[in-house]
Structure 1
């Protein structure tokens, strides 16, 4: 459908106001410009976990544009507006700026396909060179992150603070997990902590030094970042292994609970910790913990602050294996290497089936299993697995 001159002028005017609102952070103007059913699609592979589809203006602002703003000091500079079929507008230009907290410069072309209906923007599709965005990111300040032989290793790296979570670590975790989720080379994730402690939970010193009127917002930002990281880890095809030495408390315990396999030192301890400082749950613990240990035991941990030994944690279902402290890194590496050599797509389907089974009726779960089996039936990994079984050899899975 050919766009009329009047509609084109209106669309360009709306687009210009959109870029001005984004540059100014004017959420009220954005609310006027975006339709209630607005859909934003940011390029897959965008850093900071912002890639993908965002439904509604609020989600786009919080998780899409907001995510970009948290990681980058950058703005979109449009230079060309072209009407295209279907009442849409193609806008081209450049993103210019830099990654925050010591990141590099950003200068990347973009193309935005904007849809306007009845005087409001109903959709925006972004196309850009995501590699340039990733190159502009700052280095991690609280993590050590690397990928080799199919295993992504995330080590919490604030040993002087017992790897306690602060707002910087929250942002680092959000960014690291999002990046790993977009990396097809990742077939397992190994979580650990530097300095002999997995994580002591939230950074109480940070809470103490934050003014009372600023603390709720600071806590909200930290919890939001941790939640994004946990949700990303839970949604991966790649299995997650946790190596626990010392303590796993609060937010640290939340990371343990999202893992599929947990190796713990004989002297490791596990605790909630929130009640002791007057806080509630975060990192999905109110969801994951009851599913692992049962509702009654979860209540006990939350309400009494009980500390579990590694042996108790294994008995309760929190831990897969307990080994001497000096054997934890090697044992966790062995487990990560083993699952990394497995059929990654099939593992991802199994993770989803297990996660959803608590809330799914039997007939629906059987249907979901059937769909997963049919999908796996067309995979190269199934053919390799069957062939290797018949040839009495170890399969060489490729993850798809």
Structure 2
């Protein structure tokens, strides 16, 4: 895989793993990190699932204000530029992916790191993990799509709690709220997330991609439009090789062998 400065990339079968790699800064994310993530996602090279992971004891402690944004000039304009040209386009690129996404979270997932973790279809958290929107403590507002994402995941009241009180949400609480997929012991996190990503990568990739688009689209449309989109997607999926294989496997009472086509 191509070399990057702030992330590591690796292929494990059909899974592309993108690892945040600034452990000395608790993986605090300068704009360059999100630009590199977007570059890594631009060419999946046939990968059928993406796994976000991290080095060290933190998933991501938020944007790197010291190392990435405060470089002279107007800091307010620098923040706006970083969001507009690095962080937000990367979050949108993740939303547009045609393959499923898993995140493996240990330690803090704060600020933009929280948004990145929750942008995955499945967030698997270590029992050491916590999720934090601490912007209120420094007189700022959540970003990276958090104000759109959180009320849809956990409802307005709990989103307000996270955003306006700025307190940590431990992994078990996040699970109880329906914000994440699973909590596992810390020593089991890497294997649990990898196994889930491998399972998804072995699935009917085009159908899974259609499901991602339907889920996101349904949050922005009405009931009738959602059903119409489902009908269109179902027609398209019926024409795939994986659909044929799935039907044949069902009739033969065997496990399907999906190829992503």
TM-score (normalizing by structure 2): 0.94
Residue 356 (str. 1) matches residue 224 (str. 2):
no
Deviation string, structure 1 residues 81-115 (Cα, Å, up to 9, x no partner)? xxxxxxxxxxxxxxxxxxxxxxxxxxxxxxxxxxx
Residue 244 (str. 1) matches residue 105 (str. 2):
yes
Which structure has the bigger radius of gyration?
A: 1
Q: SS of the residue aligned with 2:59? A: coil
1:23-42 aligned within 5 A: none
1:209-248 aligned within 5 A: 210-211=71-72, 213-224=73-84, 225-248=86-109
> Which ranges of structure 2 fall in alignment gaps of 5 or more residues?
none
Corresponding residue for residue 249 of structure 2:
388
1:270–1:308: 8 Å Cα contact kept in structure 2? Answer: yes
Residue 371 (str. 1) matches residue 232 (str. 2):
yes
Deviation at 1:277, TM superposition (A): 2.2
1:174–1:226: 8 Å Cα contact kept in structure 2? Answer: no
> 1-side partners of 2:121 and 2:241: how far apart?
24
1:168 to 28, 32, 46: 32
Corresponding residue for residue 177 of structure 1:
41
Deviation at 1:261, TM superposition (A): 0.6
Q: Report the structure, 1 or 2, having the larger helix content.
A: 2
Q: SS of the residue aligned with 1:190? A: strand
1:343–1:381: 8 Å Cα contact kept in structure 2? Answer: yes
Q: SS of the residue aligned with 1:195? A: coil
Q: SS of the residue aligned with 2:90? A: helix
Residue 263 (str. 1) matches residue 124 (str. 2):
yes
2:125–2:189: 8 Å Cα contact kept in structure 1? Answer: yes
RMSD: 1.7
Deviation at 1:209, TM superposition (A): 5.1
Deviation at 1:208, TM superposition (A): 8.3
Residue 254 (str. 1) matches residue 118 (str. 2):
no
Q: SS of the residue aligned with 1:388? A: helix
Tell which has more relative contact order, 1 or 2 (C-alpha 8 A, sep 6+): 2
> 2-side partners of 1:395 and 1:341: how far apart?
10
- Number of residue equivalences: 260
> 1-side partners of 2:43 and 2:112: how far apart?
21
Q: Report the structure, 1 or 2, having the larger strand content.
A: 1
Corresponding residue for residue 258 of structure 2:
397
Corresponding residue for residue 322 of structure 1:
183
1:42-81 aligned within 5 A: none
TM-score (normalizing by structure 1): 0.62
Residue 284 (str. 1) matches residue 148 (str. 2):
no
* C-alpha spacing 1:398/1:328, structure 2 compared with 1 (3 Å): same
Corresponding residue for residue 142 of structure 1:
6
1:303 to 153, 164, 167: 164
Deviation at 1:348, TM superposition (A): 0.9
